[in-house]
């Protein structure tokens, strides 16, 4: 007896024969007997035939375009993730060989494999071309200069501060030989007349873009490079409006962009005045894209509640604006039967929606997420104009390809990954539900009264909202954990409670109010928007206060790749045979995420901060006032709930003897912390410190095992801590040397220089020296990992694994050969092994030389200026000093 239920075909057979099922009847493939396959293996030829048939069906359904877009993005991601720049000739040769092979083979699986490889190669080539095309000039060291430029944007920040994006026109005192083209600078206050397009001047302190705060973290230098930002900093004096008489006039594009920015600022100020309070700031962010004024407490409440996507203009907002305009226009035109029966009013409504989201993207500031969402919905609305289905995987693939061809680096950001991942999952779930409803028997509720119909509609609305939140949340969980190491346990509840208010009150009122601003009739609508936002924020704060701990720790890159591949296969494939391939990928990805190897210690890229994970799930740091952003990032990566500040002691921090037995003194080991002893050790011992960019270690580096020559160590204790042993927090002495002990017994030392570190060579597993001029002070024979500030200046922040009695392993955030967005690091003073620059006091000259000193020649002035610039690190030298 066979029972047909929707798209499933189940045969009721005897237990000995097992059950047969065909989840996708449209596959055209014969059902597979489950029990039989568990008892006997299918032949290789039969499996190949089945997969060949599945590939043929996918090809007939047009899945190839969607797969090509996914592989193109994977190729771009692989290029950007490489530790070093691939040779351009290799990419060109790969494309030539693949093109020739494509012509030679026939229409079979080999041709599909070659097309897949070509998609990967084209994605990598697109990434390489974008990296070359960007060519952003980035400063390599801190520098103070007088800057004159033109304001591109003014972003108001919390506390009355403002952040200015400035196109650099001129630098003075000193003149930078390698000045960036665009910078972002923060000011305590900005004159009211300083609007986008105005000339600005002031003394600024410019800082180079930093790398990730930990390996696999968010790379500020990468994103600054592709955003065209060559440096960031703050005003020391100013900003002041400059005289534009002697400056180059702005072009037409710059004038148009400045006009749009001024309009956005006026609109944001108008909305704030209408609504007021924190809700006014959020409303300005939703309409004009001005998010700087939102309080951090509100941002954190939205993040913990799982509603952070609500204030970032993206697919949700574009969809609501397009839907509101499309439904309003189509409903209004339906009131005229003569017109609606003779004309394609649906296309008119789609054209109006396209114009609406085009205006919205201009007014909202054209942020990356908004631009990507605009392209996606523009493709869908254009499909409606040409009588094509709007919400399809093919349209999503076209949108992704358009974005990736123009800006391939976007695939490395969380916004792109989460947006397209959620949309693909929703389209696949919608297609499955449509097929299920098409083949399901008619519901009995269709024959009931109006009360039951109304209740059914309400249940369907909230059920669809819950399903949407659940599907999108599951699809984006892996990307959220990879980038933020956080999950929102109450996100489903928050979205069920808040999104109806957003969809039915906030966004419709925002659209109506924005359209009625020129007529002065926007007051009631913005008042309704403010009420809706107060409800949403009340929900966010209520759930945020009751949300459990949301930090889950970092996951390895293998887990991200495997789970992303599983998501791609599950959403792109339409046949059950190929969709089943997502199951082993998902299982392998979950296994990699669960059996992860979290680091035991982190080192900041400036060498001024070291953190060690403790047994109680805390993070011990070596500074009393560390960088809040860095520590917060490390906490999330290790799922640490608290931070342990260092303990200050009056006694110098000597070798720790409680957990690791004392080492017998070697005859050549220098004693004490004196400079002579440090000099003797440095001159006699080989250095682990990096000597030049070409000799940097790559990836995870293990110190050579010198245990055969070293005195034996007592194995570290791994059991419970004994009473009276040192605390797990860092202990810092008067010379700023800090010592901590890992739960496995390994000792971590943070020393200001080589002289302070030399006494710890006998017992420490990791020594971090915050001095760029220092080298390894430890003689050969001790398996200790020594990291200097010069190492970190070249390779970025580091993660360290302390493997008990073995040698520690280290992974740097930046590869051995820096990529083009990290190339400026090689020219800093720390990367060249030089001490920090200090201004020298002017030398007194004899009276008889006063006349010569008062009027130096032009050649001497140029030489002095060049010397000052080079020593200050403000200009890029021709080559790094050895």
Q: Model's pTM, two decimal places?
A: 0.79
Residues with Cβ within 8 Å of 612's Cβ and at least 6 positions away in sequence, in order, are 600, 601, 619, 620, 728, 730, 740, 742, 748
**Same domain assignment for residues 616 and 698:** yes
Which contacts of 468-476 are long-range, i.e. CB under 8 A and separated by 24 or more positions? 468/426, 469/495, 469/496, 469/499, 471/422, 471/425, 471/426, 471/429, 472/422, 472/425, 472/426, 473/306, 474/425, 475/421, 475/422, 475/424, 475/425, 475/426, 475/567, 476/417, 476/418, 476/421, 476/422
Exposed e or buried b per residue across 242-275, where buried means at least 16 C-beta atoms within 10 angstroms of its C-beta:
bebeeeeebeeeeeebbebbeebbebbebbbebb
**Same domain assignment for residues 757 and 680:** yes
Is the residue at 655 inside a domain?
Answer: yes
Residues 623-664 have pLDDT tens digits of 999 999 999 999 999 988 889 999 888 666 656 543 433 333
Q: What is the pLDDT of residue 461?
A: 82
Q: What is the pLDDT of residue 193?
A: 80
**Same domain assignment for residues 511 and 606:** no
H/E stretch holding 423: helix 414-439
Q: What is the pLDDT of residue 369?
A: 74
- Rounded to an integer, what distance in angstroms lies between the CA atom of residue 309 and that of residue 701? 39
Is the residue at 855 inside a domain?
Answer: no
Q: What is the pLDDT of residue 440?
A: 67
**Same domain assignment for residues 405 and 288:** yes
- Rounded to an integer, what distance in angstroms lies between the CA atom of residue 49 and that of residue 457? 46
Identify the domain boundary among 527, 546, 565: 546
- Rounded to an integer, what distance in angstroms lies between the CA atom of residue 678 and that of residue 780? 15
For residue 171, give the 3-state DSSP assignment: strand
- Rounded to an integer, what distance in angstroms lies between the CA atom of residue 288 and that of residue 79? 35
- What is the strand order of the sheet 731-732 is part of? 647-648, 731-732, 738-741, 747-751, 766-769, 785-788
Question: Within 10 A of 712 (CB to CB), how many other CB atoms are there?
Answer: 10
Residues 428-472 have pLDDT tens digits of 888 888 877 777 665 555 556 788 778 888 888 888 888 888 898
Range of the domain at 700: 601-661+672-717+726-812
**Total domain count, the chain:** 2
Is the residue at 215 inside a domain?
Answer: no
**Same domain assignment for residues 535 and 616:** no
Question: CA nearest 77: which of 476, 425, 416?
Answer: 416
**Same domain assignment for residues 678 and 757:** yes
Identify the domain boundary among 766, 785, 812: 812
In 354-496, which ranges are E strands?
none
Phi, psi of 13 (to 5 degrees): -120, 180
**Same domain assignment for residues 613 and 498:** no
Identify the domain boundary among 812, 833, 849: 812
**Same domain assignment for residues 506 and 654:** no
Q: What is the pLDDT of residue 542?
A: 93
H/E stretch holding 58: helix 44-60
- Rounded to an integer, what distance in angstroms lies between the CA atom of residue 160 and that of residue 194? 15
- Rounded to an integer, what distance in angstroms lies between the CA atom of residue 441 and that of residue 88? 59
- Rounded to an integer, what distance in angstroms lies between the CA atom of residue 281 and that of residue 294? 6
Is the residue at 417 inside a domain?
Answer: no
Handedness of CA 390, 391, 397, 400 (dihedral sign): positive
- Rounded to an integer, what distance in angstroms lies between the CA atom of residue 104 and that of residue 115? 12
- Rounded to an integer, what distance in angstroms lies between the CA atom of residue 502 and that of residue 498? 6
Q: What is the pLDDT of residue 441?
A: 65
Q: What would the two tokens of residue 807 be? A: 């040698």
**Same domain assignment for residues 267 and 407:** yes
Q: What would the two tokens of residue 90 be? A: 């290799």
| Positions of the chain with pLDDT lower than 50, given as ranges | 1-42, 657-727, 846-882
Give one word for 639, left, alpha or beta, with left for phi > 0 and alpha for psi -120 to 50: left
Residue with tokens 């070697």: 666
Is the residue at 575 inside a domain?
Answer: no
CB 243 within 8 A of CB 198: no
Q: What is the pLDDT of residue 308?
A: 85
**Same domain assignment for residues 760 and 656:** yes
């Amino acid at each position: 007896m066979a029972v047909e239920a929707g798209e499933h075909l189940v045969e009721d057979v005897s237990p000995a024969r097992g059950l047969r099922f065909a989840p996708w009847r449209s596959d055209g493939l014969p059902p597979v007997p489950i029990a039989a396959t568990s008892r006997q293996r299918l032949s290789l030829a039969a499996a190949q035939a089945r997969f060949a048939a599945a590939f043929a069906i996918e090809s007939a359904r047009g899945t190839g375009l969607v797969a090509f877009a996914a592989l193109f993005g994977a190729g771009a991601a692989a290029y950007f993730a490489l530790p070093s720049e691939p040779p351009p000739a290799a990419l060109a040769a790969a494309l030539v060989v693949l093109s020739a092979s494509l012509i030679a083979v026939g229409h079979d699986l080999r041709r599909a494999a070659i097309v897949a490889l070509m998609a990967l190669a084209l994605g990598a080539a697109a990434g390489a071309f974008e990296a070359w095309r960007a060519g952003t000039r980035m400063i390599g060291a801190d520098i103070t200069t007088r800057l004159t430029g033109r304001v591109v944007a003014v972003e108001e920040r919390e506390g009355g501060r403002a952040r200015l994006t400035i196109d650099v026109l001129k630098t003075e005192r000193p003149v930078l030989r390698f000045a960036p083209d665009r910078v972002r600078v923060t000011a305590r206050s900005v004159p009211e007349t300083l609007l986008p397009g105005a000339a600005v001047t002031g003394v600024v302190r410019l800082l180079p873009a930093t790398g990730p705060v930990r390996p696999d973290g968010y790379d500020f230098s990468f994103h600054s490079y592709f955003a065209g930002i060559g440096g960031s900093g703050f005003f020391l004096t100013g900003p002041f409006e400059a005289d534009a008489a002697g400056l180059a006039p702005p072009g037409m594009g710059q004038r148009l962009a400045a006009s749009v920015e001024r309009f956005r600022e006026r609109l944001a100020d108008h909305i704030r005045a209408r609504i007021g309070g924190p809700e006014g700031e959020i409303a300005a962010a939703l309409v004009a894209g001005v998010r700087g004024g939102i309080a951090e407490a509100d941002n954190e409440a939205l993040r913990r509640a799982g509603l952070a996507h609500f204030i970032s203009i993206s697919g949700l907002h574009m969809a609501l604006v397009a839907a509101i305009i499309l439904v309003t226009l189509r409903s209004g035109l339906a009131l005229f039967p003569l017109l609606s029966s003779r004309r394609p009013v649906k296309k008119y409504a789609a054209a109006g929606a396209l114009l609406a989201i085009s205006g919205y993207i201009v007014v909202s500031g054209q942020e990356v997420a908004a631009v990507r969402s605009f392209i996606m919905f523009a493709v869908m609305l254009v499909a409606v104009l040409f009588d094509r289905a709007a919400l399809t995987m093919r349209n999503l693939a076209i949108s992704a390809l358009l974005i990736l061809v123009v800006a391939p680096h976007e695939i490395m950001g969380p916004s792109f990954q989460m947006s397209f991942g959620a949309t693909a999952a929703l389209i696949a779930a919608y297609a499955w539900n449509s097929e299920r409803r098409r083949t399901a028997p008619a519901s009995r509720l269709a024959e009931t009264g109006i009360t039951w119909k109304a209740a059914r509609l309400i249940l369907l609305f909230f059920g669809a909202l819950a399903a949407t939140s659940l599907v999108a949340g599951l699809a984006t969980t892996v990307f959220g954990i990879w980038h933020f190491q956080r999950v929102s346990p109450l996100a489903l509840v928050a979205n069920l409670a808040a999104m109806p208010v957003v969809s039915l009150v906030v966004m419709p009122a925002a659209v109506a109010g924005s359209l009625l601003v020129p007529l002065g009739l926007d007051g009631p609508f913005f008042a309704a928007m403010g009420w809706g936002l107060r409800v949403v924020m009340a929900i966010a704060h209520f759930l945020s206060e009751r949300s459990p701990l949301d930090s889950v720790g970092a996951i390895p890159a293998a887990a991200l790749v495997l789970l992303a591949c599983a998501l791609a296969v599950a959403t792109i494939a339409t046949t059950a045979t190929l969709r089943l391939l997502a199951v082993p990928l998902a299982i392998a990805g979950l296994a990699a995420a669960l059996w992860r190897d979290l680091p035991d210690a982190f080192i900041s890229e400036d060498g001024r901060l070291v953190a060690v994970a403790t047994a109680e799930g805390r993070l011990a740091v070596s500074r009393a006032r560390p960088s809040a952003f860095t520590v917060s990032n490390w906490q999330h990566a290790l799922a640490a709930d608290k931070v342990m500040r260092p303990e200050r002691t009056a006694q110098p921090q000597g070798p720790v003897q409680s957990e690791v037995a004392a080492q017998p003194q070697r005859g050549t080991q220098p004693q004490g912390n004196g400079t002579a002893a440090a000099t003797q050790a440095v001159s006699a011992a080989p250095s682990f410190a990096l000597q030049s960019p070409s000799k940097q270690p790559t990836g995870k580096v293990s110190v050579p095992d010198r245990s055969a020559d070293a005195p034996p160590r007592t194995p570290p204790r791994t059991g419970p801590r004994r009473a009276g042993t040192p605390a797990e927090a860092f202990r810092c002495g008067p010379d700023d040397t800090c010592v901590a002990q890992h739960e496995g017994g390994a000792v971590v030392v943070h020393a200001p220089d080589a002289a302070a570190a030399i006494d710890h060579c006998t017992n420490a597993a990791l020594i971090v020296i915050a001095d760029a001029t220092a080298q390894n002070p430890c003689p050969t024979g001790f398996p200790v990992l020594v990291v200097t500030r010069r190492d970190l200046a070249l390779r970025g922040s580091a993660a360290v694994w302390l493997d008990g009695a073995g040698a520690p392993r280290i992974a740097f955030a930046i590869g051995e050969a820096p990529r083009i967005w990290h190339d400026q690091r090689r020219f800093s003073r720390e990367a060249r092994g030089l001490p920090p620059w200090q201004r020298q006091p002017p030398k007194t000259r004899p009276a008889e030389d006063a006349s010569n000193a008062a009027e130096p020649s032009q050649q001497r002035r140029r030489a002095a200026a060049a010397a000052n610039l080079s020593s200050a690190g403000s200009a890029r030298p021709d080559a790094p000093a050895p």
